[in-house]
Amino acid sequence: MFLTVRALDCCTIRPMICRIWHGRTPRSKAVAYTSFLVKRAIPDYRSVEGNIDVEILRWDDGDVTHFLTVTHWDSEEVIRAFAGDDLLKAKYYPEDRDYLLEFEPTVQHYVVYERTGIPASAMRTSLS
C-alpha cells in the first residue's frame, strides 16, 4: 500500500502518509473537547517515533462542531505502532464517550506527494 515514486529522474521519494480522522461533538462541548485533544491526543500521537506532525481542525456548524485530526507519518509501520494492525480503524480514547456524538469506525489515509514548507529530508528523499 505504501508507494515509492521516482521524481525528476534524479531521486527517489518515499512519500509520507496523511491520516485523517473525523468526529462530531455538540457545539456546547467543543471547547472542552479541543482541550482534551490538546492535552491527551496530541501527546499520544507525538510520542510515536515517525509521527511528523499533528493538526486539529474545528468547524462549527449550528449546534454541532466537526473535528478533523490530520496527522502525517513516515510509514504504515509507524502508524501500526500507534493504531494497531488494522490501519484504517479509528482509534478512540475512553474519554471520547463524554464528548462525541458517534464513533466513526474508520479513518482515511492519503499518500502525500508534494508539500511546501517542509524539508526534503522529511519526505525521506534519497539521490539515485
Q: What is the pLDDT of residues 4-63, one digit of tens each?
A: 444 444 455 567 999 999 999 999 999 999 999 999 999 999 999 999 999 999 999 999
What domain range includes position 58?
Answer: 5-127
CB 115 within 8 A of CB 3: no
For 8, the grid coordinates are 525528476
Helix (H) or strand (E) holding 36: helix 30-36
pLDDT score, position 1: 39
What dihedral angle (degrees, nearest 10) is formed by the CA atoms of 98, 105, 110, 34? 0
* pLDDT digits 0-9 by tens, 46-105: 999 999 999 999 999 999 999 999 999 999 999 999 999 999 999 999 999 999 999 999
What is the domain count for the chain? 1
Question: Which pTM does this prediction carry?
Answer: 0.80
The CATH number that applies at residue 28 is 3.30.70.100
| Res 10: pLDDT | 46
